[in-house]
Amino acid sequence: MKYDLSGRLVVGIASSALFDLTDCDAVFRERGEDAYRSHQEAHVDDPLARGVAFPFVRRLLSLNDLADRVDPLVEVIILSRNDPDTGLRVMRSIEAHGLPISRAVFRQGRSPHPFMPALNMSLFLSANGADVREAMSDGLPAGHVLETARVDDETDPELRIAFDFDGVLAGDSAERIFQGAGLDEFRAHEVRLATTPHDPGPLSGFLAGINRIQRREEDERRRNPGYRPRLRVSLVTARDAPAHERAVRSLKRWGLRVNDALFLGGVDKAAVMGVLDPHMFFDDQVTHLTGTAAATPSVHIPFGIVNAPS
């Protein structure tokens, strides 16, 4: 029987985002591919340490307990530049950590992102910035997982996800106004078009999948009043009033929603992340992520005018 991915939230992830490959990468850079292959073969039974995206992925997959085991809500698939031989350590590490991931694409030396549409993926996460930019240039939703000093996989089952708006959930048309004409014209433009929704951005499809799971959680809470929803979504944007209204209306017109909205008006986003404590924060601007990545798992979405080559 054919395994249908069309109704699921499917995320592709590189081993570089899921696990800490610092030592492996050092071998590759300093001693070359043959030494890297030998290193991985010699350590095939040594589980890789948890990486930046591990807490996010583990919690996302745990939401499959809301569905029938044979018909999960979430699918995570490995997308890797490793060849199948060196990929063995990745798959054994997945098993050792108890992650229910069984599908993988290994492509020796080649970016695996072209398989995203065939696998119904709404997001590809990698610590390889070049692979992410290549995927985005092909019109595919991808994020560069940045290094962080904190990989916290606490026992709290809640999964908290935070998104920027412009260039992430929405397109970058408003950002182009801001970059070209300044803050006052940006605000005036957004007020004039307050009832006109923005075009959806690169991660709108991923949020749609998250919202489907949240609706499943609502159904579960109606059946079981003691059930505590585990999935919480926050909007964290540099917008403030009066530009906030178009963002809220756009989400509603797209059929999407968030649990929290923080309209910061230029306040440092890192200052609020300690309170929100998300397991993943998505933003299109490196200047914002430089502050957040120190303590918050952060993902750069290289989309739009702010990421155009200078």
Query: Concatenated DSSP letters for 287-310?
Result: HHHHHHTTTS-EEE---SGGGS--
Condensed to tens digits (0 to 9), the pLDDT of residues 167-208 reads: 999 999 999 999 999 999 999 999 999 999 999 999 999 999
Listed residues 114, 145, 176: the one ending a domain: 145
| CATH number, residue 248 | 3.40.50.1000
Hey, what are 284's tokens? Answer: 């299109």
Among 64-68, 102-106, 213-217, 251-255, the minimum mean pLDDT is found in 64-68
pLDDT at 16 exceeding the cut of 80: yes
Domain count, the chain: 2
> Is there a single domain that holds both residue 252 and residue 290?
yes
> Is there a single domain that holds both residue 115 and residue 196?
no
CA distance 124 to 282: 12
User: What is the domain extent for residue 221?
Assistant: 159-307
CA distance 105 to 115: 8
> Is there a single domain that holds both residue 121 and residue 241?
no
Q: What is residue 1's predicted lDDT score, i.e. its pLDDT? A: 65
Q: Mean pLDDT over all residues of the chain?
A: 93
Condensed to tens digits (0 to 9), the pLDDT of residues 32-74 reads: 777 778 888 888 888 999 999 999 999 999 999 998 777 899 9
Q: What is residue 232's predicted lDDT score, i.e. its pLDDT? A: 98
Is there a cis peptide before residue 242, judged by omega within 30 degrees of 0?
yes
Q: What is residue 214's predicted lDDT score, i.e. its pLDDT? A: 97
Q: What is residue 150's predicted lDDT score, i.e. its pLDDT? A: 65
> Is there a single domain that holds both residue 28 and residue 109?
yes
Condensed to tens digits (0 to 9), the pLDDT of residues 114-130 reads: 999 999 999 999 999 99
At 266, is the secondary structure helix, strand, or coil? coil
Q: What is residue 211's predicted lDDT score, i.e. its pLDDT? A: 98
> Is there a single domain that holds both residue 19 and residue 122?
yes
Instruction: Tell whether the torsion through CA atoms of 38, 81, 304 and 285 is positive or negative.
Output: negative
> Is there a single domain that holds both residue 238 and residue 107?
no
> Is there a single domain that holds both residue 76 and residue 212?
no
**pLDDT (average), residues 260-279:** 95
In a domain, 56, yes or no: yes
**pLDDT (average), residues 63-90:** 90
Q: Could you give the percent of the chain with pLDDT greater than 90?
A: 79
> Is there a single domain that holds both residue 90 and residue 212?
no
**pLDDT (average), residues 284-292:** 95
Tokens 């001693």 belong to residue:
31
